Amino acid sequence: MTHRQRLTILGSTGSVGVSTLDVVARHRERFEVVALSARNKTAALFKQCLEYRPRIAVVMDAAAAQDLRQRLLQAGLDCEVRCGIDALEEVACQPEVDTVMAAIVGIAGLRPTLAAARSGKKVLLANKESLVTAGAVLMDAVRASGAVLLPIDSEHNAIFQALPRGYDAPDKAGVRRILLTASGGPFRRASLRELDRVTPDQACAHPNWAMGRKISVDSATMMNKGLEVIEARWLFNVGPENIEVVIHPESVVHSLVEYIDGSVMAQLGHPDMRTPIAFALGFPDRIAAGVEYLDLARVGALHFERPDTQRFPCLRLAYEALEAGGTAPTVLNAANEVAVSNFLVGALGFRQIPALIEAVLAEVPHAPVSGLDDVLAADRIARERAEGRLRALHPTGGNRRQRQAVRS
């Protein structure tokens, strides 16, 4: 190794960002942190700057930037503070950066992720919305620049590991189908009546994984798995008819690839994001992740079942959006982001999440995607339609936090 791998971590204070830094801390001789970013969590970002000494830190607004500058100045740290979406794109393209961890949640991560791909970086993709909303655009950028795109979602990382090196298309590799595993979340056995009473805290209490609140709700509705189906279509060049979701409550088998000769290849491990992160950081080498090793005898039994799309209609909606193509997945994602943010502040019921998404999908025309502008326009229109429906649902406007959530 001629030099340490130089990293930009986008979304460093989120669960994936924190896990990435945990792996980095175990291999300081291999990695150097050049830039960190957080939305506006200046206290957490400051602590990370103290430990990892990046040259650049990015937040999203001027007030947070000033707060972080003051903290860094008082600590005597030489770290440049930047703010805004343009700054995120800049740190994703820094000439000295080798690898970009794209871990910003939601479509907010699209522009910097695309910038990293266009710059030919090694992109560790934890921001699934980039592929969901702009799959063709992002994959074209990867091919044009020669970037390396490595999936961080445990399911897609497992598939990547189960496919032959240099995989291009299923017909060339003898792949019959891809099997995405899903835990089923906290409400796998809940009745529809019980789902009507679900609270945000209940939805965020995932039985196996420690995740942020937005992705935890997506897991509870199974929209997260639906987004992963769309993501898999672009990552592995397969049609929706060759992607199947299977419920696996133990979350030990992270996904599988079935071949035309009847072989099924799987990747197993404890449900800990540090495993796929370490795989991608070290690729093509293997490095220690700090996770507990798997004891199959202690696990005992593994169970699998088909998903219930009546209980979890978000999965059906995702397949339908993928089949429709064009901007339909962008509309799906935008409506979901608005719905989840409102559910988290109590402005929307749990079962109203898929209802809102389905209504917006029916209202917003789907158009072809020729570039980023098409994606951003569809995202804006879908959010406006979702917000309009929420205003009709709450004509008095609701409380201030609810209104802020609707605009997020």
**pLDDT range class, residue 232, cuts 50, 70, 90:** very high
Q: How confident is the model at residue 401, as a pLDDT?
A: 46
Report the pLDDT averaged over residues 173-187. Answer: 94
Q: How confident is the model at residue 247, as a pLDDT?
A: 96
Q: How confident is the model at residue 257, as a pLDDT?
A: 98
Domains of the chain by residue range: 5-151, 153-273+281-312
* Tokens linked to 286: 């293997």
**pLDDT range class, residue 394, cuts 50, 70, 90:** confident
Q: How confident is the model at residue 393, as a pLDDT?
A: 80
Say if domain 5-151 classifies as CATH 3.40.50.720: yes
Q: How confident is the model at residue 207, as a pLDDT?
A: 77
